[in-house]
Chains A and B, each alone.
Chain A
Amino acid sequence: MTTSAETVGKKFNIDTVENAAKTPDTELPWAELGLKQNEFDEVVKVLGRRPTGAELAMYSVMWSEHCSYKSSKNHLRQFGEKVTEEMKKDMLVGIGENAGVTNLGDGWAVTFKIESHNSPSFVEPYQGAATGIGGIVRDIISMGARPVAVMDPLRFGAIDHPDTARVMHGAVAGIGGYGNSLGLPNIGGEMVFDSVYQGNPLVNALAVGVMRHEDIRLANASGKGNKVVLFGARTGGDGIGGASVLASESFDDTKPSKRPAVQVGDPFAEKVLIECCLELFKGSLVEGIQDLGAAGISCATSELASNGDGGMQVELTSVLLRDPTLTPGEILMSESQERMMAVVTPENIAAFEAVMDKWAVEYSWLGEVTDTGRLIITWEGEVIVDVDPRTVAHDGPVYDRPFARPSWQDSVQADTFTGSVQDAGRPSTSGELAAAVTELIASPNMCSKAWITKQYDRYVGGNTAMAFPDDAGVVRVDEETGLGVALATDANGRYTYLDPYHGAQLALAEAYRNVATSGAVPMAVSDCLNFGSPEDPDVMWQLAESIRGLSDACMELGVPVTGGNVSLYNQTGTVPIHPSPVVAVLGKLDDVARRTPSGWKEDGQAIYLLGTTAAELDGSEWSNLRGHLGGLPPKVDLSIERQLGEILINASRDGMIDAAHDLSEGGLAAALVESALRYGVGARIALDELMERDGVDLFTALFSESQGRAIVSVPRSEEIRFKDMCTARGFAHLRIGVVDAAGGKLEINGVDELSLDALNEAHEATLPKYFG
């Protein structure tokens, strides 16, 4: 390149479009940038010539798996197809925008989305996790919403592996350090330890925002002559990664040699950006807006242009730089954080600049919207990019990756826990069962997450009605009416490994159940699909089955997917993570004062178990504790989940229950202990009738992970009404005990007495033991 290209400017050897047309045989580093031969050939075909260095940078990053969804797109279509008119009723903005928007009523709308920041969080846990929060929050702002809360589902390697502490400390501190500085309450999440995530921790982040209907903004650049502006932080060399191979553009050897592959976050800049954007929205000062995340300016210009009138002209030397040695390709690919791009009418320029000045936010006018259908990027007036923006943003390659049911799936499914070597010595005496309950609730996945959650601000904003460790996070939206939203995220990689189709459905079922348990009506879904390499047919089958299962279940439960993210290549060598579709469900509460907490409070209230229990221990936390993974996950019955949800929601609305807790990982044993420890109020429990009705033994009653179940506490005055409601709906319900506020213990017939102090100590000690 250096020998043949024209020299423009002082520092760079600029590869112009004109030059590219004249030098068709120049070797380009497309392979180093991650493009395949067929993809590069396609770029040449689209352009009718070889791409310039800058164009190659744009296509390579926008056609990457991360930005183009090329391996999953054919499957993801099902989320848009398996939708009824009823499900569309409240969907104001669907998949494809920065985040979906759902109607909450009273003129309110809510937007939420979950995304991954897995690989950066392994390389540099603090900044990886911090910028994960930053990125998802900017997606929410881009829709015109005020962000109101965040959540963080986390999956790490084995709790006792020496590297796990590095990732855990860094990721938790990063989420806290960034999120706490934004003034966004952290209202929940997940924490799972499993050696399958050792080299591939999953750091997912969810953000939710609210707005009035009229404030919804979209990412499009319309109106010829409107100005394009970049504002927020300056553009630096962070997150460029592969673009360094384009360094041949440069013949200035004084430039920094090492560029951080992971972006570095500045939460103060983001907080100011939030307030600044909200002020822009309030004054209707922007026509379209897009955050800069992956693929930076490449993504923002091509998406804004192709979603609008189709043309844009941009002068790249107008971009404010943190590092003046950046080449055009690097500027286009930079993933510097805390940046936004907007389209502003000429009349609004002065008002726009006044808002920027008030918040001391830097900005630069890059160019304008055109009607040419071309995205033209110049460098000191020389054209270095001349493309149809659709070909960059939307017409990337789509692959029908081969997939097939793995040869090992049958033998894994045949290897049930019951009767296995690991099942030897199953607890049966009252002493053994008491020890088993204590062991379970002290285990890495079932222990108290307080070590994490106390590092997060859950109060800021003054609208947090419920947060961890309750089943769902609840945030008030309207202070006059009490209207609010509930959110929960769930996934079970072990279930999904055993059966991807049903495992994904189980994740949805649990998140749906958690939201309903809080008293909220489930309305919408966002998913973060974390999988291994799509080039492995086994993994591709897991992905295809999970998407098929999840989309079928969304249809059956009547909750549409409004957005999400796919994270592939989560594997070390040839060993992929467990397929981990993380499902977030959003629900609506007409009045958050009606929310249902998970803990018991009032002495003498009756405790009911809703749903039935079968011998379902495969994939369970108990089998995990014994080192077994095989068999089939618990059965999914979505009509049961729906009925259970309706009972929990009605009971909450009509004041029939004071507490509710869903049964999931760890089964009834975990739920009973958690409900007791929430406020330090115990209970007396007898499961004889349950064992007789469902034909299970005491161990199974306590540790089975059968779905569609919850425990509730019912005031005596409401007991008849509550039972009548369950009977009328034909839903299994059984009184299993009574709240005992004075005893300071959890008494279960057939199990040695469990003092709440001892349970609490066991539950709380685990994370501090490993992480200080």
Chain B
Amino acid sequence: MTELPLIGGAPVAVEPRLVGAKIGVVTFPGTLDDRDAARAVRLAGGTAVALWHADTHLADVDAVVIPGGFSYGDYLRAGAISRFAPLMSRIIDAANSDAKLPVLGICNGFQILTESHLLPGSMIKNDHLKFLCRDQVLRVENNNTLWTSDYEAGEEITVPLKNQDGQYIADDKTLDALEAEGRVVFRYVGWNPNGSRRDIAGISNAAGNVVGLMPHPEHAVEPGFGPESNAGTDGLGFFTSVLNKIVGGAQ
């Protein structure tokens, strides 16, 4: 296991009852947002556990976040190499098992989840061909997943978006099925920033325990360090949703 060397100390947990819930944050070579994801878990009240891609066990975590970055430099297809990490096999098994391990893939993590076939479709280069960093409005289309239950259905949230390969694509049959099954979890509102099919920003698996999205909720968890709208903490709900589910399930 690697350590996530954070600068400075850990912020104080807000909800003591959630501290027992452990969320693993995976680091691959080239992962960038692992410290941010760990901070988001802590700010939501949970305990972040650092997981290393070469680990062969999940360290008894209750959920897993696969954070953003450029694992293996995105030199092949984004996520195509990371998908073969030993830890990914454990995550894939656990996500598909009866226990339905909650898994959230953000940006590069979403790309790794599609490469792992935990989620359908794929991401290609943004239609405008540039890296884009902006505060993005999303609509929560489905609040029945393990990662969105603290949001209202139809709620609009603002979280940062920052990527170069963010254009979600899938064939029409897959897209129709996703829509029919309510598995389109987030849609871009106002402007489609990368040409994603049907404005899709994030999707889930059929069971709703695996969610992937391109925008970065972990960058919208602390006032003053996220988007300038709505106190900048619209992303916190992802982490409180899963923590509440984990703690609720244990009671």
Question: Mask for B156-192, Cβ within 8 A of A = 1, else 0?
Answer: 0000101010000000000000000000000000000
Please report the C-alpha to C-alpha distance between residue A456 and residue B163 in the assembled complex, in whole angstroms: 9
| B133/A458 in contact, CB under 8 A | yes
Q: A176-B131, A268-B73 are in contact. Are A460 and B224 (CB under 8 A)?
A: no
Partner of B9, one of A176, A458, A480, A593: A480
Nearest B residue to A455 via CB reads B131
| A455/B130 in contact, CB under 8 A | yes
Instruction: Determine if B11 is an interface residue (Cβ-Cβ < 8 Å).
Output: yes
Please report the C-alpha to C-alpha distance between residue A268 and residue B226 in the assembled complex, in whole angstroms: 26
Instruction: Determine if A679 is an interface residue (Cβ-Cβ < 8 Å).
Output: yes
Partner of A271, one of B32, B131, B219: B32
| A148/B7 in contact, CB under 8 A | yes
Which residues of the partner chain A approach B6 to less than 8 Å between Cβ atoms? Answer: 479
Partner of A183, one of B32, B132, B219: B32
Question: Mask for B46-80, Cβ within 8 A of A = 1, else 0?
Answer: 00000000000000000000000110111100000
Question: Mask for A127-163, Cβ within 8 A of B = 1, else 0?
Answer: 0000000000000000000101000000000000000
Please report the C-alpha to C-alpha distance between residue A462 and residue B68 in the assembled complex, in whole angstroms: 13
Please report the C-alpha to C-alpha distance between residue A464 and residue B11 in the assembled complex, in whole angstroms: 16
* Range of interface residues on A (Cβ < 8 Å): 35 or more
Q: A454-B132, A455-B131, A459-B216 are in contact. Are A183 and B224 (CB under 8 A)?
A: no
Nearest B residue to A460 via CB reads B32
Please report the C-alpha to C-alpha distance between residue A182 and residue B73 in the assembled complex, in whole angstroms: 10
Please report the C-alpha to C-alpha distance between residue A148 and residue B74 in the assembled complex, in whole angstroms: 22
SS of A interface (majority): mixed
Instruction: Determine if B8 is an interface residue (Cβ-Cβ < 8 Å).
Output: yes
* Range of interface residues on B (Cβ < 8 Å): 35 or more
Partner of B7, one of A268, A282, A479: A479
Q: A459-B226, A462-B39, A465-B225 are in contact. Are A360 and B29 (CB under 8 A)?
A: yes
Instruction: Determine if B93 is an interface residue (Cβ-Cβ < 8 Å).
Output: no
Instruction: Determine if B86 is an interface residue (Cβ-Cβ < 8 Å).
Output: no
Question: Mask for A318-358, Cβ within 8 A of B = 1, else 0?
Answer: 00000000000000000000000000000000000000001
**Distance between B12 CB and nearest chain A CB, rounded to angstroms:** 9
Which residues of the partner chain B approach A687 to less than 8 Å between Cβ atoms? Answer: none
Within 8 A of B (CB), among A150-202: 173, 176-177, 180-183
Q: A176-B131, A183-B33, A455-B130 are in contact. Are A480 and B228 (CB under 8 A)?
A: no
Which residues of the partner chain B approach A183 to less than 8 Å between Cβ atoms? Answer: 32-33, 69
Instruction: Determine if A278 is an interface residue (Cβ-Cβ < 8 Å).
Output: yes
Which residues of the partner chain B approach A464 to less than 8 Å between Cβ atoms? Answer: 225
| A462/B70 in contact, CB under 8 A | no
Please report the C-alpha to C-alpha distance between residue A529 and residue B7 in the assembled complex, in whole angstroms: 32
| B216/A592 in contact, CB under 8 A | no
* A interface residues with partner B (beta carbon < 8 Å): 146, 148, 173, 176-177, 180-183, 210, 266-269, 271-272, 278, 282, 358-360, 453-465, 476-481, 483, 592-593, 679
Known: A267-B70, A479-B6. 15 other contacts (CB 8 A): A176-B131, A177-B131, A180-B70, A181-B70, A267-B73, A268-B72, A271-B32, A455-B131, A455-B132, A462-B36, A462-B221, A463-B7, A465-B225, A476-B8, A480-B8
* B interface residues with partner A (beta carbon < 8 Å): 2, 5-11, 29-30, 32-33, 35-36, 39, 69-70, 72-75, 130-134, 160, 162, 164, 216, 218-219, 221-222, 224-226, 228
